Amino acid sequence: MAPSGSRSIKRSCQTVLYWIPVIFITLIVAWSYYAYVVQLCIGKDNSTVVVYLLAYHVVFILFTWTYWQTIFTKPMNPLKEFHLSYSDKELLEREDRGESQQEILRRIAKDLPIYTRTMSGAIRFCDRCQLVKPDRCHHCSVCDKYDSAHGPMVNNCVGFSNYKFFMLFLAYSLLYCIFITATDLQYFIKFWTNGLPDTQAKFHIMFLFFAASMFSVSLASLFVYHCWLVCKNRSTLEAVRAPAFRHGADKNGFSLGLSKNFRQVFGDEMRYWPFPVYSRYILIPLFYQISSGLYFGADSDREEGRRKNLNSVVNYGGNEGTMFLSVRGG
Ligand SMILES: [Zn+2]
Ligand SMILES: [Zn+2]
């Protein structure tokens, strides 16, 4: 009993530890709200402040909404087609040579829309989950789920299910910080020229300016980097190491051109681009969903579309996938 008890304590400690960055950010945001609304705006008798407050709340709502969605949108699970059947598991366990195991995995992967390989050219397989890894997916040891990469700032895997939300979170948090910096600047200058009344508000105003401007710089660099990744259709892991295909490593293996790369993340419907909601995915995103082997949930239309697409991919021997994903060679 003792080892399992200590394991669960360790796990609880880890859970608390992983939430620390989120709690830290939430506390800073709560304080920034108090400092801006209560200390800086309320009580000032001019119409500009009303405009500031209105604009502030619009940005604040979008920022907290996207943050919430990024944190609490669950990573997706690979389709059951990627899991080994009971008989295949047994077969794999009986073989102790790597090459014979690869032979079995190649047979299983033959009917799956999979284009990537390990660096040595082998089928990507997860021992822990006993499944053939879908393209671009990785097992996250923190969440014990599949997605692109774990984001400590949001304590969640950031990948296909929430990458749009994460991008919007970066954009709105940057906008939030820039807005505060810009509107607080005049009061910040007054602080140094002794133009502010001698109350505790002046210290909130000063620290608010420092915090917002510093976060603006770090968020801007992160946002620009992720915009570049979206344009190139690369995950953070793929940016570090080019994904390997049957024909070898290719850093642009998933790129479809700027417009399609963008739509893969943000969807096809422009009116939904600014909001952290799923927009209706047509052709490419749907195909991407299939190719990634990601399960979209209980939506029956999507489920139907997914099945049709999976069948067509299998029927055409992967040609459609080759075309849409621009996976060359193989
Ligand atoms: Zn796994
Ligand atoms: Zn994770």
Q: Where are the domains of the chain?
A: 2-74+155-225, 80-149+235-324
Give the per-residue SS3 of 38-90. HHHHCCCCCHHHHHHHHHHHHHHHHHHHHHHHHHHCCCCCECHHHECCHHHHH
Q: Which residues surround ligand 2, an ion (CB under 5 A)?
A: 140, 142-143, 150, 157
pLDDT digits (tens, 9 = 90+) for 202-228: 899 999 999 999 999 999 999 999 999
Which percentage of the chain shows pLDDT scores above 70? 83
Cα(127) to centroid of ligand 1, in Å?
A: 7
Cα(187) to centroid of ligand 2, in Å?
A: 41
Question: Is 26 a residue whose pLDDT tops 90?
Answer: yes
Cα(82) to centroid of ligand 2, in Å?
A: 20
Least distant ligand from the CA of 142: 2
* Cα separations in angstroms, 15 against 10, 12, 90, 153, 203: 9, 5, 34, 14, 35
Q: What are phi and psi of 29, to 5 degrees?
A: -65, -40
Cα(75) to centroid of ligand 2, in Å?
A: 8
pLDDT digits (tens, 9 = 90+) for 237-247: 899 999 998 88
- Give the pLDDT band (50/70/90) at residue 320: very low
Cα(141) to centroid of ligand 2, in Å?
A: 7
Pairing of strands 125-126, 131-132: antiparallel
Question: Is 151 a residue whose pLDDT tops 80?
Answer: yes
Q: Give the pLDDT confidence score for residue 278 in this predicted structure.
A: 80
Q: What are phi and psi of 315, to 5 degrees?
A: -60, -40
Question: Which position has the higher pLDDT, 81 or 29?
Answer: 29
Q: Can you tell me the distance from the alpha carbon of 195 to that of 181, in angstroms, rounded to the nearest whole number?
A: 18
Q: Can you tell me the distance from the alpha carbon of 237 to that of 136, in angstroms, rounded to the nearest whole number?
A: 9
